[in-house]
Amino acid sequence: MSHERHVQTATRKRASHPDFVSTFSVYALQDRIPLRFPVPEDVPPSPKRRYRSAYRYLGDDGLLERTSLAHLTSFQVVLRLIDFSSLRTYLAHCYYAQSAKGQTPFDPVSLFLCVCLRRELNLSWRALAKLLAGEHGAGWRRLFGFQEGETPSPSGLRYFFNSLGAALFDELCPLFTDLLHEAGLLPTHSTFPGDSAQHGVSISHDIMLHHAHARMHCAQVTDTCYQPAPRPCPAKEASPEEAAPTTPRGCDCTTEACAQVCQHATPADKEARYIYYAGRNKRADLLSSQEQPDSHTARGRHVYGYASNPDRILDDRFACAWTIRTGLHPANIDERALFPRSFAQLRARFPYLQIGEVLADAALGYQCCLDPIWEAGALRMVDIRAAQGDDDPDTQLRRGYNEKGHPLCFHGYEMRPNGHDYRRRRTKWCCEKACLTPPAEDTAQDTRRPLPDCPYQQPQHKHGQVINVARTLPDGCLRLAREVPYGSPAWRKRYGRRNLSESRNGLLEQMGLKRLPSSGLTRGFKEVAIADLLENLRTLGRLVFEATTLALSNVAH
């Protein structure tokens, strides 16, 4: 019920925006339909001249009739908006052998849309093949270009999916982003209310944990467990006092197979790793296998598998977000090693995007992650990563700021923000002579007394003591320095938009990807990449559906 209320609220927000119908309705897009799926340039021609199926764009049939439109899903709507024919050469080059010989294959675009349909309906390969060949698959056969009695087998569909390289899947969301940009549907600047047109787009960075397809047998699995050469066994090296009595470490080294792979490892998911997710952003969320939580007090969860790290553009106007790139890594990946590299790749891949802010949790609260955001000219909307001593009043007074990064005056009074200078990229903080203001009667008596020799109490200091916070706080601290005052109403309003981005995690779970359906990092990444593309396609279809429905209602009245 809560999800339905959220969807209805987002729908009402879009419907109330004056530009919604003029941006996403079929009437507004008619001159651009079909939207052509872009592909990389200079792709070699396909080695195959003929195919057993023939996908072709069938037009926007049914989108301008209210009765027909009401019976279409978001995926069916987008199949009437986008012409996927341009993918044929790109897919054929990545899939078929560089030879015209051999059996006549199916059109690779037909097979690619089958892969999308499998994730859309959350089907197995066998169930998908049965649907396409059966009576209820006539509509899909027509859209995908299959003839009755000429549809792919389960093994053929699976082979196509497994044969495509990860590089192709890595480009799916970026190519779709290019499509939105060329169609004028992607934000080109910040859509946050009150931001200027010169402020760049808002990027949300997040992590979603996925359970591996294989079940965990040992939490201590590392790369050494899969090396062919024999290695020392941790269980034999540890003394009886050091060895955990209930949790096995490593293997018993009792068979020759140990030289090839640990008997407690999971060869089908070699890259999968164990992590404990505490579910908190203020401290370290992810603990390694050596930092086991207290089972009686822990409130988090154990995950053996992988972590996806999508980057999404937020569009506040229409309450939606677009995944522009995605990735999959072992669950214990360190963001300090991952984010700087992925953020650099993001900026290089989309030169037409000016990034105005990056929203992320405390996992990015390190200098190696905060610096690239600052260097991009973006706001560091990254949650605070706490450290020991942050809540100690003496430590706060000595360094001149509290646990939220808010500057303190000489006498320990919290200063007030007085606006952010976007040109100079600094936030001005003023004490406003707080020491001269008596404490409120309903609060505890303040034991700090104003010092009569404080120079900032003089009339010439209109706002009292003034401190400017730019890249760092006055003492050089970068961990707590933020352009928007942390915890302020402005911060909460901006940071709360991460809900738009995090909705992606729930959608992937609905698609059956909380536990990956395939073993191995590469195949798992393909599943996630297809799901992220499909989530983008669904979003486009949903927005066009809602905008066109509103347009048809206005015509009827």
Task: Tell me: pLDDT of 70 over 70.
Answer: yes
CA dist., res. 386 & res. 4, Å (int): 35
- The whole-number pLDDT of residue 446 equals 52
- In the prediction, which pLDDT does 65 show? 84
β-partners of residue 330 are: 306
Average pLDDT in the 188-207 region? 93
Kindly write down the DSSP assignment for every residue of 104-173, as one continuous string: PPPPHHHHHHHHHHHHHHT--HHHHHHHHHSGGGHHHHHHHTPBTTB---HHHHHHHHHHS-HHHHHTHH
Output the pLDDT for position 183: 95
**Residue that is written with structure tokens 């859509």 in the block:** 191
pLDDT at 248 over 90: no
- Residue 75: CA count within 13 A, CB half-sphere: 17
User: Residue range 219-230: average pLDDT?
Assistant: 72
Give the number of other Cβ atoms within 10 Å of residue 273's Cβ. Answer: 24
pLDDT-derived band at 233 (thresholds 50, 70, 90) equals low
Alpha carbon dihedral 462, 466, 470, 474, in 10-degree steps, equals 170
The whole-number pLDDT of residue 458 equals 82
Strands 311-315 and 82-83 turn out to be unpaired
Q: At what angle do helices 335-349 and 367-375 cross, to 10 degrees?
A: 20
What phi and psi, each to the nearest 5 degrees, are found at residue 308? -95, 150
pLDDT by residue (tens digit) across 132-179? 999 999 999 999 999 999 999 999 999 999 999 999 999 999 999 999
Confidence grade of residue 440 (pLDDT, cut at 50, 70, 90): low
The pLDDT assigned to 257 comes to: 56
Structure tokens at 20: 């919604």
The contacts of residue 530 (CB under 8 Å, 6+ apart) are: 115, 116, 119, 169, 172
Half-sphere exposure of 232 (CA within 13 A, CB side): 4
Q: What is the pLDDT of residues 295-346, one digit of tens each?
A: 444 567 889 999 999 999 999 999 999 999 999 999 999 999 999 999 999 9
Q: How confident is the model at residue 224 (pLDDT cuts 50, 70, 90)?
A: confident
What is d(CA 63, CA 204) in angstroms, rounded to the nearest whole number?
32
Q: How far is CA 196 from the centre of its chain?
A: 25
Tokens representing residue 275 in the block:
């992590």
Least confident of 184-193, 322-331, 411-420: 411-420
- Cα separation, 470 vs 407, in Å, equals 12
User: What is the mean pLDDT of the segment spanning 12-39?
Assistant: 93
User: Which pLDDT score, from 0 to 100, does residue 258 have?
Assistant: 58
Helix (H) or strand (E) holding 374: helix 367-375
Among 100, 88, 95, 98, CA closest to 54: 88
Which residue in 128, 98, 303 sits closest to 216, CA to CA? 303
Q: Please tell me the predicted confidence (pLDDT) of residue 300.
A: 73
Digit-coded pLDDT (tens) for 351-394: 999 999 999 999 999 999 999 999 999 999 999 998 888 889 99
Q: What is the pLDDT of residue 438?
A: 64
pLDDT of residue 244: 42
β-sheet bridge partners, residue 313: 203, 322
| Higher-pLDDT residue of 116, 224 | 116
Per-residue confidence band for 428, with pLDDT thresholds at 50, 70 and 90:
very high
Dist CA 253 CA 231 (whole Å):
9
Least confident of 52-61, 304-313, 457-466, 536-545: 457-466
| Mean pLDDT, rounded, for 504-515 | 92
Q: One-letter amino acid identity for 32?
A: R
For 345, the enclosing helix (H) or strand (E) is helix 335-349
Cα 198 to Cα 384: distance, rounded to the nearest angstrom:
27
* Partner residues linked to 82 by β-bridges: 35
Question: 34-37 contacts: CB < 8 A, separation 24 or more?
Answer: 34/59, 34/60, 34/81, 34/82, 34/83, 35/81, 35/82, 35/83, 35/179, 35/183, 36/82, 36/83, 36/85, 36/86, 36/179, 37/82, 37/83, 37/84, 37/86, 37/87, 37/175, 37/176, 37/179
Residues paired with 426 in a beta bridge: 421
The total of other beta-carbon atoms located within 10 Å of residue 540's CB is 25
Distance, in Å, from the CA atom of 420 to the CA atom of 468, rounded to the nearest integer, reads: 9
> pLDDT confidence of 557, banded at 50, 70, 90?
low
Closest to 177 in 3D by CA, of 556, 532, 547, 510? 532
Smallest Cα–Cα separation from 84: which of 53, 46, 39, 127? 39
CB count in 10 Å sphere of residue 458: 10
* Cβ atoms of residues 6 and 13 within 8 Å: no
* Chain mean pLDDT for the chain: 85
What pLDDT was estimated at residue 441? Answer: 52
Q: Does the structure show a pLDDT above 50 at 541?
A: yes
Q: What are phi and psi of 349, to 5 degrees?
A: -75, -30
Strands 301-308 and 328-330: antiparallel
47 vs 438, residue with greater confidence: 47
Q: Is 38 a residue whose pLDDT tops 50?
A: yes
Query: What's the average model confidence in pLDDT over 462-477?
Result: 91
Residue 247 binned pLDDT confidence (cut-offs 50, 70, 90): very low
Alpha-carbon gap, residue 355 to 190, rounded angstroms: 9
Measure the CA–CA gap between 219 and 127, rounded to whole angstroms: 34
